[in-house]
Amino acid sequence: MTVMSYLGAIGAAQREAMEADPRVIIMGEDVEANVYGTMGGGKSRADKGDFLQMFGARRIRNTPISEEAMVGAAAGAAMTGLRPIVDLSYSSFLYMAMDQLVNQVAKNRYMFGGQASLPVVFRSAMFFGLNTGAHHSDRPYPMFMNVPGLKIMVPATPSDAKGLLRTAVDMDDPVLSFEACILWGLKEEVDEGEYRIPFGVARTHRHGNDVTIVGISTGVHAALQAAQKLEAEGISAEVIDPRTMVPLDSDAILNSVARTGRLVIVDPAHTTCGAAAEISAIVAEKAFDCLRGPIMRVTTPDTQIPFSPAIEKQLYPDAAKTIAAVKRTMEARTRAA
Protein backbone atom coordinates (compact mmCIF):
# COMPACT_ATOMS: atom_id res chain seq x y z
CA MET A 1 0.00 0.00 0.00
CA THR A 2 1.20 3.48 -0.78
CA VAL A 3 -0.26 6.94 -0.83
CA MET A 4 -1.28 7.85 -4.35
CA SER A 5 -3.04 10.82 -5.82
CA TYR A 6 -6.02 10.27 -8.12
CA LEU A 7 -3.85 11.26 -11.05
CA GLY A 8 -1.02 9.05 -9.91
CA ALA A 9 -3.42 6.14 -9.57
CA ILE A 10 -4.51 6.57 -13.17
CA GLY A 11 -0.89 6.67 -14.22
CA ALA A 12 -0.20 3.52 -12.23
CA ALA A 13 -3.10 1.68 -13.86
CA GLN A 14 -2.00 2.74 -17.32
CA ARG A 15 1.55 1.65 -16.65
CA GLU A 16 0.36 -1.74 -15.39
CA ALA A 17 -1.80 -2.22 -18.47
CA MET A 18 1.00 -1.17 -20.84
CA GLU A 19 3.43 -3.57 -19.17
CA ALA A 20 0.99 -6.47 -19.13
CA ASP A 21 -0.04 -6.45 -22.80
CA PRO A 22 1.91 -5.24 -25.84
CA ARG A 23 -1.35 -4.59 -27.65
CA VAL A 24 -2.19 -1.73 -25.29
CA ILE A 25 -1.26 1.67 -26.67
CA ILE A 26 -1.92 5.21 -25.42
CA MET A 27 -2.87 7.92 -27.85
CA GLY A 28 -4.04 11.47 -27.35
CA GLU A 29 -3.05 15.10 -27.45
CA ASP A 30 0.08 15.87 -25.44
CA VAL A 31 0.48 12.38 -24.00
CA GLU A 32 4.17 12.19 -24.82
CA ALA A 33 5.04 15.11 -22.54
CA ASN A 34 2.84 13.89 -19.69
CA VAL A 35 1.09 17.24 -19.58
CA TYR A 36 -1.82 15.92 -17.54
CA GLY A 37 0.30 13.81 -15.25
CA THR A 38 -1.10 10.44 -16.16
CA MET A 39 1.76 9.26 -18.31
CA GLY A 40 4.29 8.54 -15.64
CA GLY A 41 4.28 7.98 -11.95
CA GLY A 42 5.03 11.54 -10.94
CA LYS A 43 4.74 15.23 -11.67
CA SER A 44 7.16 15.56 -14.54
CA ARG A 45 8.52 13.47 -17.35
CA ALA A 46 11.60 12.42 -15.51
CA ASP A 47 9.89 11.72 -12.22
CA LYS A 48 9.08 8.04 -11.57
CA GLY A 49 9.14 6.86 -15.13
CA ASP A 50 8.43 8.45 -18.49
CA PHE A 51 6.05 6.35 -20.58
CA LEU A 52 7.56 7.48 -23.83
CA GLN A 53 10.96 6.27 -22.75
CA MET A 54 9.59 3.11 -21.23
CA PHE A 55 7.32 2.04 -24.05
CA GLY A 56 8.50 3.93 -27.11
CA ALA A 57 6.86 6.01 -29.80
CA ARG A 58 5.17 3.06 -31.43
CA ARG A 59 2.89 2.68 -28.41
CA ILE A 60 2.79 6.20 -26.96
CA ARG A 61 1.44 8.55 -29.60
CA ASN A 62 0.76 12.26 -29.63
CA THR A 63 -2.20 12.89 -31.89
CA PRO A 64 -3.14 15.97 -33.87
CA ILE A 65 -6.23 17.80 -32.62
CA SER A 66 -8.61 15.49 -34.47
CA GLU A 67 -11.09 13.95 -32.07
CA GLU A 68 -13.19 12.31 -34.78
CA ALA A 69 -10.19 10.64 -36.35
CA MET A 70 -8.68 9.76 -32.96
CA VAL A 71 -11.82 8.10 -31.68
CA GLY A 72 -12.58 6.34 -34.98
CA ALA A 73 -9.01 5.18 -35.45
CA ALA A 74 -8.94 3.84 -31.91
CA ALA A 75 -12.16 1.97 -32.64
CA GLY A 76 -10.83 0.55 -35.91
CA ALA A 77 -7.60 -0.42 -34.20
CA ALA A 78 -9.54 -2.11 -31.41
CA MET A 79 -11.52 -4.06 -34.01
CA THR A 80 -8.28 -5.35 -35.53
CA GLY A 81 -6.10 -6.39 -32.64
CA LEU A 82 -4.99 -3.39 -30.56
CA ARG A 83 -6.27 -2.31 -27.13
CA PRO A 84 -6.02 1.48 -27.22
CA ILE A 85 -6.39 3.91 -24.37
CA VAL A 86 -7.39 7.27 -25.80
CA ASP A 87 -6.81 10.42 -23.80
CA LEU A 88 -9.35 12.96 -24.99
CA SER A 89 -8.12 15.60 -22.52
CA TYR A 90 -11.31 17.51 -21.61
CA SER A 91 -14.71 15.80 -21.50
CA SER A 92 -16.21 18.76 -23.40
CA PHE A 93 -14.11 17.75 -26.41
CA LEU A 94 -15.91 14.42 -26.79
CA TYR A 95 -18.63 16.13 -28.78
CA MET A 96 -16.24 16.61 -31.69
CA ALA A 97 -16.29 12.82 -32.00
CA MET A 98 -19.95 12.20 -31.26
CA ASP A 99 -20.62 10.37 -34.52
CA GLN A 100 -17.72 8.00 -34.01
CA LEU A 101 -18.65 7.32 -30.38
CA VAL A 102 -22.35 6.81 -30.99
CA ASN A 103 -22.52 5.44 -34.54
CA GLN A 104 -19.31 3.41 -34.64
CA VAL A 105 -17.99 2.56 -31.17
CA ALA A 106 -21.38 1.78 -29.63
CA LYS A 107 -22.86 0.04 -32.64
CA ASN A 108 -20.29 -1.94 -34.57
CA ARG A 109 -20.31 -5.09 -32.51
CA TYR A 110 -24.10 -5.16 -32.61
CA MET A 111 -24.70 -4.21 -36.25
CA PHE A 112 -22.16 -6.65 -37.54
CA GLY A 113 -23.68 -9.53 -35.58
CA GLY A 114 -20.84 -10.00 -33.11
CA GLN A 115 -18.03 -10.08 -35.69
CA ALA A 116 -16.27 -7.20 -33.95
CA SER A 117 -15.27 -6.49 -30.41
CA LEU A 118 -13.99 -3.08 -29.33
CA PRO A 119 -11.55 -3.25 -26.42
CA VAL A 120 -10.95 0.49 -26.25
CA VAL A 121 -10.97 3.02 -23.40
CA PHE A 122 -11.70 6.72 -23.85
CA ARG A 123 -10.55 8.83 -20.89
CA SER A 124 -11.36 12.46 -20.34
CA ALA A 125 -11.30 14.97 -17.51
CA MET A 126 -14.21 17.12 -16.39
CA PHE A 127 -12.78 20.52 -15.49
CA PHE A 128 -15.83 21.88 -13.71
CA GLY A 129 -15.27 23.99 -10.61
CA LEU A 130 -11.96 25.38 -11.84
CA ASN A 131 -12.92 28.62 -13.55
CA THR A 132 -12.41 27.36 -17.07
CA GLY A 133 -15.75 28.53 -18.43
CA ALA A 134 -18.54 26.81 -20.30
CA HIS A 135 -16.45 25.09 -22.98
CA HIS A 136 -14.32 23.15 -20.53
CA SER A 137 -16.69 22.35 -17.69
CA ASP A 138 -19.11 19.78 -19.04
CA ARG A 139 -20.09 16.60 -17.23
CA PRO A 140 -21.41 14.62 -20.23
CA TYR A 141 -21.72 11.11 -18.80
CA PRO A 142 -25.56 11.20 -18.79
CA MET A 143 -25.62 11.77 -22.56
CA PHE A 144 -23.64 8.61 -23.08
CA MET A 145 -25.68 6.59 -20.58
CA ASN A 146 -28.44 6.89 -23.16
CA VAL A 147 -26.34 5.10 -25.81
CA PRO A 148 -26.52 1.31 -25.48
CA GLY A 149 -23.20 -0.30 -26.31
CA LEU A 150 -20.93 1.92 -24.22
CA LYS A 151 -19.77 1.28 -20.67
CA ILE A 152 -19.14 4.23 -18.37
CA MET A 153 -16.98 4.70 -15.29
CA VAL A 154 -16.97 7.79 -13.07
CA PRO A 155 -14.34 7.13 -10.37
CA ALA A 156 -14.42 9.34 -7.29
CA THR A 157 -11.31 8.10 -5.47
CA PRO A 158 -7.75 7.10 -6.35
CA SER A 159 -8.25 3.45 -5.41
CA ASP A 160 -11.41 3.25 -7.50
CA ALA A 161 -9.73 4.98 -10.43
CA LYS A 162 -6.85 2.50 -10.47
CA GLY A 163 -8.93 -0.64 -10.14
CA LEU A 164 -11.64 0.44 -12.55
CA LEU A 165 -9.24 1.63 -15.23
CA ARG A 166 -7.38 -1.66 -15.12
CA THR A 167 -10.64 -3.53 -15.57
CA ALA A 168 -11.62 -1.17 -18.37
CA VAL A 169 -8.46 -1.87 -20.35
CA ASP A 170 -8.78 -5.62 -19.88
CA MET A 171 -12.43 -5.59 -20.91
CA ASP A 172 -13.38 -6.30 -24.50
CA ASP A 173 -16.14 -3.67 -24.46
CA PRO A 174 -15.66 0.06 -25.09
CA VAL A 175 -15.41 2.20 -21.95
CA LEU A 176 -15.73 5.92 -21.38
CA SER A 177 -14.02 7.16 -18.23
CA PHE A 178 -15.04 10.54 -16.80
CA GLU A 179 -12.54 11.87 -14.26
CA ALA A 180 -13.26 15.04 -12.29
CA CYS A 181 -10.22 17.28 -12.51
CA ILE A 182 -10.91 18.77 -9.11
CA LEU A 183 -10.22 15.30 -7.65
CA TRP A 184 -6.82 14.96 -9.31
CA GLY A 185 -4.94 15.85 -6.15
CA LEU A 186 -7.03 13.70 -3.84
CA LYS A 187 -4.80 11.25 -1.98
CA GLU A 188 -5.54 7.83 -0.59
CA GLU A 189 -3.78 4.63 0.44
CA VAL A 190 -3.78 2.54 -2.72
CA ASP A 191 -2.59 -0.98 -3.34
CA GLU A 192 0.29 -0.64 -5.77
CA GLY A 193 -0.06 -4.25 -6.81
CA GLU A 194 -2.46 -5.35 -9.53
CA TYR A 195 -6.12 -5.35 -8.63
CA ARG A 196 -9.27 -4.91 -10.60
CA ILE A 197 -12.62 -3.48 -9.62
CA PRO A 198 -15.49 -5.04 -11.57
CA PHE A 199 -17.98 -2.85 -13.37
CA GLY A 200 -21.50 -2.80 -12.01
CA VAL A 201 -20.45 -3.06 -8.36
CA ALA A 202 -21.14 -0.08 -6.14
CA ARG A 203 -19.02 0.91 -3.16
CA THR A 204 -20.69 1.65 0.16
CA HIS A 205 -18.52 4.29 1.81
CA ARG A 206 -20.60 4.58 4.91
CA HIS A 207 -23.39 2.51 6.42
CA GLY A 208 -26.50 4.11 7.82
CA ASN A 209 -30.20 3.57 8.48
CA ASP A 210 -32.13 6.79 7.95
CA VAL A 211 -31.36 7.81 4.40
CA THR A 212 -29.49 6.50 1.37
CA ILE A 213 -27.28 9.06 -0.32
CA VAL A 214 -26.01 8.04 -3.73
CA GLY A 215 -23.03 10.12 -4.81
CA ILE A 216 -21.50 10.38 -8.26
CA SER A 217 -18.00 11.73 -8.86
CA THR A 218 -17.52 14.84 -6.68
CA GLY A 219 -21.00 14.11 -5.33
CA VAL A 220 -19.50 11.26 -3.30
CA HIS A 221 -17.37 13.70 -1.31
CA ALA A 222 -20.23 16.13 -0.82
CA ALA A 223 -22.29 13.19 0.43
CA LEU A 224 -19.60 12.05 2.86
CA GLN A 225 -19.17 15.53 4.29
CA ALA A 226 -22.93 15.85 4.63
CA ALA A 227 -23.18 12.44 6.31
CA GLN A 228 -20.62 13.44 8.90
CA LYS A 229 -22.53 16.60 9.79
CA LEU A 230 -25.86 14.78 9.80
CA GLU A 231 -24.52 12.21 12.23
CA ALA A 232 -23.99 14.96 14.78
CA GLU A 233 -27.68 15.74 14.39
CA GLY A 234 -28.68 12.14 14.91
CA ILE A 235 -29.38 11.32 11.28
CA SER A 236 -27.64 8.19 10.08
CA ALA A 237 -26.85 8.33 6.37
CA GLU A 238 -25.67 5.53 4.10
CA VAL A 239 -23.39 6.74 1.32
CA ILE A 240 -23.12 4.68 -1.85
CA ASP A 241 -20.97 5.37 -4.91
CA PRO A 242 -22.10 3.36 -7.96
CA ARG A 243 -18.64 4.00 -9.53
CA THR A 244 -19.86 2.80 -12.94
CA MET A 245 -22.95 4.36 -14.51
CA VAL A 246 -23.13 1.64 -17.15
CA PRO A 247 -23.54 -1.04 -15.95
CA LEU A 248 -25.20 0.46 -12.90
CA ASP A 249 -25.40 -1.45 -9.62
CA SER A 250 -29.05 -0.65 -9.07
CA ASP A 251 -29.42 -3.62 -6.71
CA ALA A 252 -27.07 -2.00 -4.21
CA ILE A 253 -29.14 1.17 -4.28
CA LEU A 254 -32.47 -0.67 -4.09
CA ASN A 255 -31.34 -2.86 -1.19
CA SER A 256 -30.22 0.21 0.69
CA VAL A 257 -33.45 2.11 0.06
CA ALA A 258 -35.40 -0.97 1.14
CA ARG A 259 -33.85 -0.44 4.58
CA THR A 260 -33.71 3.35 4.81
CA GLY A 261 -36.84 4.27 2.87
CA ARG A 262 -35.26 7.52 1.70
CA LEU A 263 -33.06 8.46 -1.24
CA VAL A 264 -31.00 11.51 -2.07
CA ILE A 265 -28.83 11.51 -5.18
CA VAL A 266 -25.88 13.89 -5.45
CA ASP A 267 -24.84 14.24 -9.08
CA PRO A 268 -22.79 17.15 -10.50
CA ALA A 269 -24.35 16.74 -13.98
CA HIS A 270 -27.23 19.04 -14.94
CA THR A 271 -30.65 18.33 -13.48
CA THR A 272 -32.57 17.46 -16.62
CA CYS A 273 -31.93 13.89 -17.75
CA GLY A 274 -28.89 13.57 -15.51
CA ALA A 275 -27.74 10.34 -13.92
CA ALA A 276 -29.76 11.31 -10.84
CA ALA A 277 -32.92 11.34 -12.96
CA GLU A 278 -32.25 7.80 -14.15
CA ILE A 279 -31.56 6.49 -10.66
CA SER A 280 -34.70 8.22 -9.37
CA ALA A 281 -36.80 6.49 -12.01
CA ILE A 282 -35.34 3.08 -11.23
CA VAL A 283 -35.99 3.42 -7.51
CA ALA A 284 -39.48 4.88 -8.00
CA GLU A 285 -40.36 1.96 -10.27
CA LYS A 286 -38.84 -0.83 -8.25
CA ALA A 287 -38.89 0.31 -4.60
CA PHE A 288 -42.00 2.47 -4.49
CA ASP A 289 -43.43 0.63 -1.52
CA CYS A 290 -40.25 1.18 0.47
CA LEU A 291 -40.21 4.94 0.04
CA ARG A 292 -41.15 7.04 3.04
CA GLY A 293 -40.41 10.37 1.37
CA PRO A 294 -39.78 11.86 -2.07
CA ILE A 295 -36.59 11.03 -3.94
CA MET A 296 -34.43 14.14 -3.91
CA ARG A 297 -31.84 15.12 -6.48
CA VAL A 298 -28.93 17.44 -5.70
CA THR A 299 -27.59 18.43 -9.07
CA THR A 300 -26.11 21.32 -11.01
CA PRO A 301 -29.01 23.49 -12.18
CA ASP A 302 -29.97 23.73 -15.84
CA THR A 303 -27.82 26.70 -16.69
CA GLN A 304 -24.44 26.95 -18.36
CA ILE A 305 -21.24 27.34 -16.37
CA PRO A 306 -20.03 30.93 -15.90
CA PHE A 307 -16.39 31.89 -15.78
CA SER A 308 -16.34 34.24 -12.81
CA PRO A 309 -15.11 32.54 -9.64
CA ALA A 310 -17.63 34.61 -7.75
CA ILE A 311 -20.56 32.77 -9.26
CA GLU A 312 -19.40 29.36 -10.49
CA LYS A 313 -18.96 27.28 -7.36
CA GLN A 314 -22.45 28.02 -6.03
CA LEU A 315 -23.89 25.92 -8.84
CA TYR A 316 -22.43 22.57 -7.93
CA PRO A 317 -23.75 20.08 -5.35
CA ASP A 318 -22.12 20.43 -1.94
CA ALA A 319 -22.56 19.21 1.61
CA ALA A 320 -24.98 22.01 2.54
CA LYS A 321 -27.31 21.30 -0.38
CA THR A 322 -27.12 17.60 0.36
CA ILE A 323 -28.05 18.16 4.01
CA ALA A 324 -31.00 20.32 2.94
CA ALA A 325 -32.19 17.58 0.59
CA VAL A 326 -31.89 14.93 3.30
CA LYS A 327 -33.93 17.04 5.67
CA ARG A 328 -36.54 17.69 3.00
CA THR A 329 -37.08 14.00 2.36
CA MET A 330 -37.10 13.20 6.05
CA GLU A 331 -39.74 15.72 6.98
CA ALA A 332 -42.09 14.94 4.10
CA ARG A 333 -44.90 12.62 5.00
CA THR A 334 -46.08 9.82 2.80
CA ARG A 335 -49.79 9.26 2.15
CA ALA A 336 -51.68 7.67 5.00
CA ALA A 337 -51.76 3.93 4.42
Query: What is the set of active-site residues?
Result: 136
Q: Does position 15 bind other proteins by CB under 8 A?
A: no
Q: Does position 73 bind other proteins by CB under 8 A?
A: yes
Q: Does position 156 bind other proteins by CB under 8 A?
A: no
**Dihedral pair phi/psi, residue 36, rounded to 5°:** -95, 0
**Dihedral pair phi/psi, residue 180, rounded to 5°:** -75, 120
Q: What is the nearest approach in angstroms of other proteins to the Cβ of residue 265?
A: 19
Question: Which of 40, 99, 42, 39 has its CA nearest to residue 75?
Answer: 99
User: Residue from 3, 19, 46, 99 that binds other proteins (CB under 8 A)?
Assistant: 99
| Helix, coil or strand: residue 235 | coil
Q: How many amino acids of this chain bind other proteins (CB under 8 A)?
A: 45
Contact between 1 and 57 (Cβ < 8 Å) = no
Which of these segments, 53-61, 135-143, 185-193, 283-291, binds other proteins (CB under 8 A)? 53-61
Q: Does position 149 bind other proteins by CB under 8 A?
A: yes
Phi-psi group of 200: left, alpha or beta (phi > 0 → left; psi -120 to 50 → alpha; rest → beta): left
AA letter at 28: G
Contact between 268 and 215 (Cβ < 8 Å) = no
Question: Which of 100, 253, 236 has its CA nearest to residue 176?
Answer: 100
Closer residue to other proteins in complex, CB, 106/222: 106
Q: From residue 319, how far is each of 54, 132, 182, 252, 325 by CA, in Å?
A: 43, 23, 16, 22, 10
Q: Does position 154 bind other proteins by CB under 8 A?
A: no
Q: Does position 82 bind other proteins by CB under 8 A?
A: yes
- CA–CA distance, 290 with 260 (Å, rounded to integer): 8
User: Residue from 14, 100, 218, 256 that binds other proteins (CB under 8 A)?
Assistant: 100
Closer residue to other proteins in complex, CB, 7/150: 150
**Dihedral pair phi/psi, residue 176, rounded to 5°:** -110, 125
Question: Which of 206, 246, 251, 252 has its CA nearest to residue 230?
Answer: 206
Closer residue to other proteins in complex, CB, 53/66: 66
User: Residue from 1, 20, 33, 111 that binds other proteins (CB under 8 A)?
Assistant: 111
Q: x-or-dash pattern for other proteins, window 161-200, by CB under 8 A? A: ----------xxx--------------------------x
Q: Does position 209 bind other proteins by CB under 8 A?
A: no
User: Residue from 68, 188, 192, 231 that binds other proteins (CB under 8 A)?
Assistant: 68
Closer residue to other proteins in complex, CB, 115/308: 115
Please give the residue ranges that form the binding site for other proteins (CB under 8 A): 23, 25, 58-59, 61, 63-64, 66, 68-82, 99-100, 103-104, 108-117, 148-149, 151, 171-173, 200, 247
